[in-house]
């Protein structure tokens, strides 16, 4: 079990090296959702199985919600002073 956790943590750390802003939001959402889901599942169910199930569901929900959230909005000003949205 310990080896599986070490490999998982290493894989997640390496997966975050070359990501776009959208992928970064999804990974962050999955991490936060997974941690929160595991805590709630562990407390509510009182077992490791409930914590794992809560973590999996929380990670999936967090990734989906964070991926659908709008990205940063970047603006620039034209010479006439009008504000326009540009690609970040």
- pLDDT tens readout for residues 52-62: 999 999 999 99
Q: What is the rounded CA–CA span in Å between residue 48 and residue 42?
A: 6
Q: Are 65 and 57 in contact (CB under 8 A)?
A: no
Confidence of residue 73 (pLDDT cuts 50, 70, 90): confident
> Residue 45: CB partners within 8 Å, gap ≥ 6?
51, 53, 54
Q: CB–CB of 56/44 below 8 Å?
A: no
**Structural domain spans, the chain:** 2-86
Q: What is the pTM of this model?
A: 0.60
Tens digits of per-residue pLDDT, 24-56?
888 899 999 999 999 999 999 999 999 999 999
Backbone angles phi and psi of 79, in degrees to 5: -65, -30
């Amino acid at each position: 079990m310990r080896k599986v956790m070490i490999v998982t943590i290493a894989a997640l750390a390496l997966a975050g090296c070359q990501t776009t802003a959208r992928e970064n939001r999804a990974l962050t959402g999955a991490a936060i959702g997974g941690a929160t889901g595991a805590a709630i599942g562990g407390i509510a169910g009182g077992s490791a199985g409930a914590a794992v199930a809560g973590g999996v569901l929380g990670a999936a929900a967090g990734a989906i919600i964070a991926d659908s959230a709008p990205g940063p909005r970047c603006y620039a000003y034209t010479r006439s002073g009008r504000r326009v949205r540009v690609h970040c």
